[in-house]
A and B are shown apart, each in its own frame.
Chain A
Amino acid sequence: MTSIVFNSVTVTRPLPRSGLQSGDDTGLIDLSPQPNLARRKSARARWHRVMLRATMPLVILLIWQLASTFGLVTPEVLPSPSDIGSAFAELVRLGDLQAALPVSLGRALTGLAIGGTTGLAIGLFAGLWRIGEGLFDAPLQMLRTIPFIALVPLFITWFGIGELAKLMVIIAATIFPMYLNTYAGVRGVDPKLIEAASIFGLSHRHTAWHVILPTALPSILVGLRYASGAALLALVVAEQINASSGIGYILNNANMNQRSDIIIAGILVYAALGIAIDLLMRMVEHLALPWRAKLVLA
Chain B
Amino acid sequence: MAVSRRRLMTLAGAAALAAPYVRADERKVRLIVGTQDIALQETVNASKVLDGSPFDLQWATLPGPAAQLSGLYSKAIDVGLMGDTSLIIEQGRARTDWTGSNQPLQIVAGWRNLDRAYPPIITAVRTAANINTLADLRGKTWAFNFGGFNYLQYVLTRIKAGLKVSDIVPVQLVDTNAAAAAFNSGRADVFSGGPGPIIEALNKGTARILIISDDLDIPSLGVFTARADVLRDDAKSQALADFLNRVRLHWTWYANNLGAVERILVEKLKQTPDKAKYYAASGASVFRPLDDDLMRHEQRIADVLFESKDINKKIDVNIEFSRRFNQATVQAS
Contact = CB atoms under 8 A, between A and B. Distances in A.
A243 interface: yes
B38 A161 contact: no
Contact of B177 (A156, A158, A161, A255): A255
Contacts of B270: 90, 250, 253-254, 257, 259, 262
Interface string B320-333: 00000000000000
A157 B73 contact: yes
Given A156-B71, A244-B38, 19 more contacts: A77-B185, A153-B66, A153-B69, A156-B67, A156-B70, A156-B76, A157-B70, A157-B76, A158-B74, A240-B62, A240-B63, A242-B62, A250-B270, A253-B38, A253-B269, A256-B37, A256-B177, A258-B180, A259-B270
Interface in A221-262: 240-244, 250, 252-259, 262
Interface in A64-107: 76-77, 90, 94
B53 interface: no
A157 B74 contact: yes
26 contacts: A94-B267, A152-B67, A153-B67, A156-B67, A157-B70, A157-B73, A157-B76, A161-B62, A161-B71, A161-B76, A241-B62, A242-B61, A242-B62, A244-B38, A244-B61, A252-B63, A253-B37, A253-B38, A253-B270, A256-B37, A256-B63, A256-B177, A256-B269, A257-B269, A257-B271, A259-B272
B200 A76 contact: yes
Contacts of B269: 253, 256-257
A153 B61 contact: no
Given A156-B62, A157-B73, A76 B185 contact: yes
Contacts of B170: none
Contacts of A158: 74
A52 interface: no
A192 B200 CA distance: 68
A154 interface: yes
B69 A161 contact: no
Given A76-B184, A254-B270, A257-B271, A153 B60 contact: no
A160 interface: yes
Contacts of A254: 270
A253 B62 CA distance: 11
Interface string B101-115: 000000000000000
Contacts of A152: 67, 70
A157 to B, nearest CB: 4
Contacts of A156: 62, 67, 70-71, 74, 76
Contacts of A90: 270
Interface in B250-292: 267, 269-272, 275
Interface residues of A, number: 27
State the 8 A-B residue pairs at the shortest beta-carbon distance, nearest first. Answer: A153-B70, A157-B74, A156-B70, A161-B76, A242-B60, A160-B76, A257-B271, A76-B184
Contacts of A94: 267
A242 B269 CA distance: 15
B77 interface: yes
B197 interface: yes
Among B74, B197, B201, B271, max chain A CB count under 10 A is at B74
Interface residues of B, number: 29
Contacts of A157: 70, 73-74, 76
A254 to B, nearest CB: 6
Among A153, A243, A252, max chain B CB count under 10 A is at A153
Interface string A124-147: 000000000000000000000000
Given A153-B69, A244-B38, A161 B267 contact: no
Contacts of A253: 37-38, 269-270
Nearest to A157: B74
Given A76-B200, A156-B76, A161 B180 contact: no
Nearest to B71: A156
A280 to B, nearest CB: 30
A154 B271 contact: no
Contacts of B200: 76
A160 B61 contact: no
Interface in B45-65: 60-63
Among A90, A156, A240, A255, max chain B CB count under 10 A is at A156
B145 to A, nearest CB: 13
Contacts of B201: 76
Among B63, B200, B201, B271, max chain A CB count under 10 A is at B63
Given A240-B63, A242-B62, A243-B61, A257 B275 contact: yes
A38 to B, nearest CB: 52
A160 B69 CA distance: 12
A94 B180 CA distance: 28
A224 to B, nearest CB: 31
A161 to B, nearest CB: 4
B65 to A, nearest CB: 10
B115 to A, nearest CB: 22
A77 B185 CA distance: 6
A252 B38 CA distance: 12
A255 B70 CA distance: 22
A113 B67 CA distance: 27
A146 B74 CA distance: 22
B207 to A, nearest CB: 11
Contacts of B76: 156-157, 160-161
Interface string A142-174: 000000000011101110110000000000000
A256 B67 CA distance: 15
Interface in A17-57: none
A109 B185 CA distance: 38
